[in-house]
Structure 1
Amino acid sequence: MHSPAPQAIDRIQQNFLAKGERRLLNWLCPRMPKWVFPDLLTGIGMFGALLIFAGYTTSLLNEDWLLLCLPGYVIQWFGDSMDGSLARFRRIERPRYGYFLDHSCDGLATFLILAGIGFSPYVRLDIALIALVGYLLLSVHAFLAVRVLGEMRLSYLSAGPTELRFVLIGLTLSMLIFGDRQRDMTTMTTFDWFVGTVGVVLLILFVVQTIRSCRELARQEKRNPGPIPNAFGQD
């Protein structure tokens, strides 16, 4: 028995840099060599996440290792943003495979980045884990919305993954300039408060978006009950 064909989903992307980023990706796609394929770009993105993790964790030895995070963020953005764009440009999408692989790698990359921040001497691990939980919960909401609403929200509060990378780059530069690697990890510093606040905002967004989605689903199903749509994102 063949599975039903996946339905197209509504990609909601309203972040500040969306238009400029899309123009850049559209410019890059036709210039990619033929031997560059989406799975390779996904792997490049994961390599960037590993560089970021290595940069934060080795800053325990010397703060200069934080510089490794900066190209790591660029590489991670390039791989993560270009894989789906190239697949759509070449019309070689594999919707279910791409959806599963891309978001699995996104989750692992997020874990590596925030765990690295927590293992660094600048942010407490428990604080970094609050931000990680907030981000992953918001991701869970986005994945559920694809299934039950047929929409993929890629931004919240006019910010998306690209804006978040810029915030993290700024945080990393602040660590280099203002950070004290001899700090007492039992006390809260500005870095802790910043990362913790971001985590709390993500948790609040998850709760708010969950309530909104529940209300929308209740309204839809009261008017026209029906089966759950079979929708997946693009590679």
Structure 2
Amino acid sequence: MEQNKLREETLIASADTDDLKRVFQDRKRTNILNNLEQQTLSFLVTRIPSYISSNILTFLGTVGSVLVLVGFVLANYIDRSYLLIGIFGLALNWFGDSLDGRIAYYRNIPRKWYGFSLDIIMDWVSTVMIGLGYMVYAKNKYELIAFVFVVLYGWAMIISQLRYKITDVYTIDSGLVGPTEIRIILALIFVLEVVFGGLIGYFAGMICITLFFINILDTRKLLKLGDIRDAIERNAKKKAA
């Protein structure tokens, strides 16, 4: 109870400073497609058959990532048009990943920490599979980009978990870009690669560079937030003494 109260006091006390307002600017979903996405999910959540559980949706989301991997493998060994399988895979991944938790709350059977833990683990598994798929498809030096992408995406996931630990506010977006936008960008890259060929390495490199700078900025925000939290806890201890 004391820890939760302290976190609440942290948010209230720090909200008076301009610096922390900037740090907390993404405490809600901030991705550019947020409104359209939420409307779509609100429509879907009431129409999911009762026999489809949250775990099944999580499984479907993971299957979507497997399809992306399969698309890369088939594109490498047969024809690059098989990359289009990855678009369906990304859509299925979005469907399962976005609805698994929401359906549980809609049905009033949430398992907050179980769902949170499972979601993070499966997100990481999905990221690794997509990176592995690209590594199979990529040629020569571009194979390294797959490793860099997985590392950078893992870094972003760590940032989100630490931010949650410090603030009790969970956010998965970096400004206007969230997982949904990343899926759409990947789908567009697949289409361009099928049509023109030989472009995916450049796009993958651009994504990694962008992720790197986003992670640097988010890390600075996180450290600043941690510093503010430390200062508030020290002041709280002094008052208590």
Q: TM tier, shorter chain? A: 0.7 to 0.9
Q: 2:105 aligns with which of 88, 94, 102?
A: 88
Q: 2:63 aligns with which of 31, 47, 50?
A: 47
1:150 to partner: Cα distance: 1.4
Task: Indicate the residue corresponding to 1:67 in structure 2.
Answer: 84
Task: Indicate the residue corresponding to 1:166 in structure 2.
Answer: 184
* Residues 1:177 and 2:195 are matched in the alignment: yes
Q: 2:126 aligns with which of 77, 87, 109?
A: 109
Q: Distance in 1 between matches of 2:146 and 2:34?
A: 27
* Residues 1:218 and 2:234 are matched in the alignment: no
Q: Distance in 2 between matches of 1:60 and 1:130?
A: 20
Alignment-mate amino acid for residue 90 of structure 1: R
Gapped regions of structure 1 (runs ≥ 5): 181-189, 228-235
Indicate if the aligned counterparts of 1:118 and 1:126 stay in contact, CA closer than 8 A: yes
Task: Indicate the residue corresponding to 1:200 in structure 2.
Answer: 209
1:217 to partner: Cα distance: 2.1
Q: Distance in 1 between matches of 2:113 and 2:126?
A: 20
The SS at the match of 2:170 is: strand
Compared CA separation, residues 194 and 67, structure 1 to 2 (3 A)? closer
1:113 to partner: Cα distance: 1.1
Task: Indicate the residue corresponding to 2:152 in structure 1.
Answer: 134
Compared CA separation, residues 121 and 221, structure 1 to 2 (3 A)? closer
Task: Indicate the residue corresponding to 2:72 in structure 1.
Answer: 56
1:121 to partner: Cα distance: 4.0
Residue by residue over 1:134-166, the C-alpha shift from the partner in whole angstroms, topping out at 9 and shown as x without a partner, is 111011000111112212122113010111011
1:206 to partner: Cα distance: 1.8
Alignment-mate amino acid for residue 98 of structure 1: G
4+ residue stretches of structure 1 with deviation over 4 A? 7-11
Q: Distance in 2 between matches of 1:125 and 1:168?
A: 17
Compared CA separation, residues 11 and 99, structure 1 to 2 (3 A)? farther
Please give the TM-score of this superposition, normalised by the length of structure 1. 0.83
Please give the TM-score of this superposition, normalised by the length of structure 2. 0.82
Identical columns (%): 25
Alignment-mate amino acid for residue 27 of structure 1: F
Q: Determine which structure has more spread, i.e. the larger CA radius of gyration.
A: 2
Gapped regions of structure 2 (runs ≥ 5): 12-25
The SS at the match of 2:95 is: helix
Q: 1:99 aligns with which of 100, 108, 116?
A: 116
Q: Quick check: 134-143 or 194-203, which moved more?
A: 194-203
1:126 to partner: Cα distance: 0.2
1:12 to partner: Cα distance: 2.6
1:65 to partner: Cα distance: 1.7
Say how many residue pairs are matched: 214
What CA RMSD, in Å, does the superposition of the two structures yield over aligned residues? 2.4
Indicate if the aligned counterparts of 1:11 and 1:154 stay in contact, CA closer than 8 A: no
Alignment-mate amino acid for residue 215 of structure 1: K
